[in-house]
């Protein structure tokens, strides 16, 4: 087990005690330093002691990832760190490049697509607890994550950082993450608010979307983060909405977030997302970061003083062009954040790269992997029977924690798939490896180097020929490919170049399928991909970007130590044209992008148009089998203030212990406005021994039946007939029951 422990001494020890456990309640302290007093009383006391200059200084960056405190009052700086899959290595004060520390290697947790694919809020809580402890140990105050932007198109390069296409699933999964991070005295910063569904023209594109889609699809996870998760920070997005950049957007930030949802935390800009002082002041922004993101080579030598919320704001205040009340509201929010994090002396001690965190990363990764296909029960592999095992594919040996944009990490060690397989099999099994294909591999990102030499002299034809020759004599073949985090794939600031697999992987897979029927394809990706070879390959496993423990987690699933139970958090269309954003809407647009598909995103579109997907939302197989039946409702009608219980029995009918995700969808048969055929409104993951049966119960309220009426600007539940569908995927309904809303 690779572990790394470090102790960082806080730069400032408060008068109330050390920045760890404990703390003083000395009544001789100024009220703002007395943690026994109500939070709001402390905030008002601190605010009353600050000068105009000190107030403004708190609202903008002083370095790449920190903002100033008030040294005169002992109020410390705020330090942010990129996430949401691990704690970013330390960078130089004014640059993205690494500071060269040797003790800032973190645990890389699985990408959020993998977390969402667990369909298990307990895994979200474990993820949040673990990453929160790492952020706490590194003395970070704000973790820039999680991300909950909706998966609108498979070409969005940043989909791997988000939680899928469904607002209900994203809402359920984001809340435990936030709550557990913040128990460490570290603020979660949910992002990117809002409508950040592409990287092309991300700094300028104006999203045109109807109010129904905005409220029903794109906002619910953010709302849950605020109202249920109690998140302490929200990051604005780069794009525009209603003609205003989202980092200073009147409707999103002031009207919806702060007024309607009662958000009491800080709105943080994305790095470089601020464009105007007056709009930043008036339209809801609280803290500005990265307006010159290339250190001090952009802008003046005193770049931070020239940020939009720095001297330009100060001068507006002095000229009477900006009001004191708006300033004080921003400062109150920053102070509230500070008291919850940096000045919280009751925070637990964290830990970094601990055995527990590596075990958590492995467990989450294993539970999130999705068995898409398993004809002939190729998986799990038995190394005592398949004595000659061939592994093919660059992704079997390539590190995936370095690259991809702001979520790039530095780890002590990343267990690659090939390494995990070699560790898992016994000496009686011979494992060989063939490259199969070559990518445009890079070995460094912002100064972090993988240390891998993936250079190759063989031609593409020779690589395929060598792999085919080895496959002829193998008892089983595992192809490990998919995407990587290079430009044009799963990567921040760029969208995918195409829906198909890159680097000629289809040719490799087809050639392997011709010579060996015992072939399993493992996809490492954060996105859906085209599979023209699907009818010729018996087994397909989606393994995601799984972090530090990728190889061990993958081996757990391949060899049956872990029975796969992941479910897809988004739809795999057969062709890109069968995705709603490409069939009906625009992508990527130009100066504007129109979401013409409205609410019909993902499986909603496939249901409405009766398009059979390659793999459906909610799909995922197991090494055992399950029956779901006896779907019943406890009554035939639901009143406006009542509840209705829907129950179903789930039985493990196979010979292995395993987990099934029982999914509840609701359909509205009599609606004034167009509605999806059905929408996810509940799910429960159930672990069962062979032969065991459990009854799953869902509670349906009128809220689950509501839609957003954009003519009334309100949620509406219309009386009429509804159907509750219960099944194992959006296209695998096992039972249904009708009821009415009175």
Write the DSSP symbol of residue 370.
Answer: E
Look up 82 and say whether it is catalytic.
Answer: no
Sign (positive/negative) of CA torsion 597, 603, 604, 610?
A: positive
Which among 437, 393, 439, 436 is positioned nearest to 416, based on CA atoms? 393
3-state SS, residue 489: coil
Region of 720 (left: φ > 0; alpha: ψ -120 to 50; beta: rest) is left
Give, for 740, the enclosing helix (H) or strand (E): strand 732-741
Which member of 82, 104, 141, 270 is catalytic?
Answer: 270
Beta bridge partners of residue 39, listed in sequence order: none
Axis-axis angle for helices 39-49, 324-340 (nearest 10): 130
Beta bridge partners of residue 540, listed in sequence order: 373, 521
Q: How many residues does the chain have?
A: 742
3-state SS, residue 251: helix
CA 218/CA 193 separation, integer angstroms: 9
Contact 176, 121 (CB under 8 A): yes
CA 289/CA 310 separation, integer angstroms: 11
Sign (positive/negative) of CA torsion 288, 294, 299, 302?
A: positive
CA 116/CA 114 separation, integer angstroms: 5
Write the DSSP string, 287-346. Answer: BB--SS-SGGGSS-TTGGGGSTTSHHHHHHHHTTSS-HHHHHHHHHHHHHHHHHTTT-TT
Axis-axis angle for helices 355-368, 121-137 (nearest 10): 150
Q: What angle do CA 708, 714, 718 make, to 5 degrees?
A: 65
Axis-axis angle for helices 505-515, 460-472 (nearest 10): 20
Contact 666, 678 (CB under 8 A): yes
Write the DSSP symbol of residue 60.
Answer: B
| Token digits of residue 717 | 């539940």
- CB environment 616-644: b (16+ within 10 A), e (fewer): bbbbbbbbbebebeebebeeeebeeeeeb
Write the DSSP string, 502-524. Answer: STTHHHHHHHHHHH-S-EEEEEE
Which among 699, 711, 590 is positioned nearest to 642, based on CA atoms? 699
Q: Please give the backbone phi and psi of residue 244, each rounded to the nearest 5 degrees, phi first.
A: -115, 140
Chain-centroid distance of CA 735 in Å reads 31
CA 570/CA 618 separation, integer angstroms: 7
CA 298/CA 280 separation, integer angstroms: 20
Residue 346 neighbours by CB distance under 10 Å: 12
CA 471/CA 511 separation, integer angstroms: 10
With tokens 């936030």, the residue in question is 178
Contact 438, 456 (CB under 8 A): yes
Which among 71, 256, 213 is positioned nearest to 708, based on CA atoms? 213
Q: Please give the backbone phi and psi of residue 701, each rounded to the nearest 5 degrees, phi first.
A: -120, 165
Catalytic residues: 270
């Amino acid at each position: 087990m690779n572990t790394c422990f470090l102790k960082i001494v806080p730069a400032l020890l408060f008068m109330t005690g050390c920045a760890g456990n404990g703390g003083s309640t000395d009544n001789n302290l100024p009220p703002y330093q007395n943690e026994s007093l109500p939070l709001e009383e402390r905030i008002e006391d601190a605010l009353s002691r600050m000068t105009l200059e000190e107030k403004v200084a708190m609202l903008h960056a002083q370095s790449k990832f920190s903002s100033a405190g008030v040294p005169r009052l002992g109020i410390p700086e705020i330090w942010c760190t990129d996430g949401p899959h691990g704690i970013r290595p330390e960078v130089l004060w004014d640059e993205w490049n690494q500071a060269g520390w040797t003790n800032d290697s973190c645990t890389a947790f699985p990408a959020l697509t993998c977390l969402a694919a667990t369909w298990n809020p307990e895994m979200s809580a474990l993820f949040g607890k673990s990453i929160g402890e790492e952020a706490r140990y590194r003395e970070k105050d704000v973790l820039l994550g999680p991300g909950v932007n909706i998966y609108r198109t498979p070409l969005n390069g940043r989909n791997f950082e988000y939680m899928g296409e469904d607002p209900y699933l994203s809402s359920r999964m984001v809340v435990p993450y936030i709550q557990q991070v913040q128990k460490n005295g570290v603020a979660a910063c949910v992002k990117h608010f809002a409508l950040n569904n592409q990287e092309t023209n991300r700094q300028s594109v104006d999203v045109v979307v109807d109010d129904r889609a905005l409220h029903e699809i794109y906002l619910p996870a953010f709302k849950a983060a605020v109202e249920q998760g109690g998140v302490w920070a929200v990051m604005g997005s780069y794009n525009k909405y209603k003609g205003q950049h989202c980092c200073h957007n009147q409707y999103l930030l002031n009207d919806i977030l702060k007024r309607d949802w009662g958000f009491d935390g800080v709105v943080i800009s994305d790095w470089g997302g601020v464009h105007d002082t007056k709009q930043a002041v008036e339209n809801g922004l609280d803290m500005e970061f990265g307006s010159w993101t290339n250190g001090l080579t952009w802008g003046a030598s005193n770049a931070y003083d020239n940020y939009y919320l720095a001297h330009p704001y100060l001068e507006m205040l002095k000229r009477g062009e900006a009001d004191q009340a708006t300033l004080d509201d921003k400062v109150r929010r920053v102070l509230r954040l500070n008291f919850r994090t940096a000045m919280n002396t009751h925070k637990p001690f964290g830990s970094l790269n601990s055995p527990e965190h590596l075990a958590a990363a492995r467990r989450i990764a294993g539970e999130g992997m999705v068995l898409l296909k398993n004809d002939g029960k190729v998986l799990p592999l038995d190394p005592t029977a398949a004595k000659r095992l061939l592994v093919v594919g660059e992704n079997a040996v390539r590190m995936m924690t370095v690259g991809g944009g702001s979520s790039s990490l530095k780890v002590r060690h990343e267990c690659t798939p090939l390494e995990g397989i070699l560790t898992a099999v016994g000496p009686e099994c011979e494992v060989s490896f063939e490259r199969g294909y070559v990518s445009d591999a890079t070995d460094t990102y912002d100064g972090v180097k993988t240390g891998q030499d993936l250079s190759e002299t063989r031609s593409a034809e020779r690589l395929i020929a060598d792999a085919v020759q080895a496959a002829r004599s193998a008892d089983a073949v595992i192809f490990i490919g998919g995407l990587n985090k290079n430009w044009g794939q799963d990567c921040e600031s760029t969208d995918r170049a195409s829906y198909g697999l890159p680097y000629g992987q289809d040719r490799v897979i087809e050639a392997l399928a011709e010579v060996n029927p015992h072939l399993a394809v493992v996809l490492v990706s954060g996105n859906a991909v085209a599979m023209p070879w699907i009818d010729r390959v018996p087994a397909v496993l989606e393994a995601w970007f799984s972090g530090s423990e990728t190889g061990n987690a993958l081996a757990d699933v391949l060899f049956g130590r872990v029975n796969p139970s992941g479910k897809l958090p988004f739809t795999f269309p057969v062709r890109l044209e069968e995705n709603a954003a490409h069939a009906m809407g625009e992508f990527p647009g130009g100066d504007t992008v129109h979401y013409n598909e409205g609410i019909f995103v993902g499986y909603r579109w496939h249901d409405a148009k009766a398009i059979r997907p390659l793999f459906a939302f909610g799909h995922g197989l197991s090494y055992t089998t399950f029956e779901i039946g006896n779907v019943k409702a406890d009554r035939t009608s639901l009143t406006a203030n009542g509840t209705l219980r829907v129950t179903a029995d789930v039985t493990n009918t196979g010979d292995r212990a395993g987990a099934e995700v029982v999914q509840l969808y609701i359909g509205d048969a009599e609606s004034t406005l167009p509605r999806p055929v059905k929408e996810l409104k509940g799910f429960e993951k159930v672990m069962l021994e062979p032969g065991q049966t459990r009854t799953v119960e869902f509670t349906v309220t009128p809220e689950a039946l509501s839609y957003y009426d954009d003519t009334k600007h309100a949620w509406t539940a219309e009386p009429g007939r509804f159907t509750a569908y219960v099944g194992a995927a959006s296209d695998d309904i096992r039972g249904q029951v009708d009821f009415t809303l009175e």
